[in-house]
Amino acid sequence: MKYYGIGAIALMVGLGACAKNPDPTKIVNTPMIKYKTEKVKAAAAVVPKWYKKLPKKDNAIYSVGS
């Protein structure tokens, strides 16, 4: 009998988590996210062109590595 109570509580908690959808713009517009976004943009801007351009050959597969 007590398993029904535990199941009902778990069901209410599970459905309660879906009841409210947070605004994603509040999460994205934080100072930490803006700072990290700028750091990624700055790091991607200094990648040399030869690193991004892959050689082309019919019998080989190339990929970028570090």
Structure confidence at residue 29 (pLDDT): 86
Q: What is the pLDDT of residues 33-63, one digit of tens each?
A: 999 999 999 998 998 888 877 778 888 887 7
Structure confidence at residue 66 (pLDDT): 56
Structure confidence at residue 36 (pLDDT): 94
Structure confidence at residue 39 (pLDDT): 96
Q: What is the pLDDT of residues 1-29, one digit of tens each?
A: 567 788 888 888 877 767 677 777 887 88
Structure confidence at residue 1 (pLDDT): 59
Pairwise CA distance, residues 54 & 8, whole Å: 57
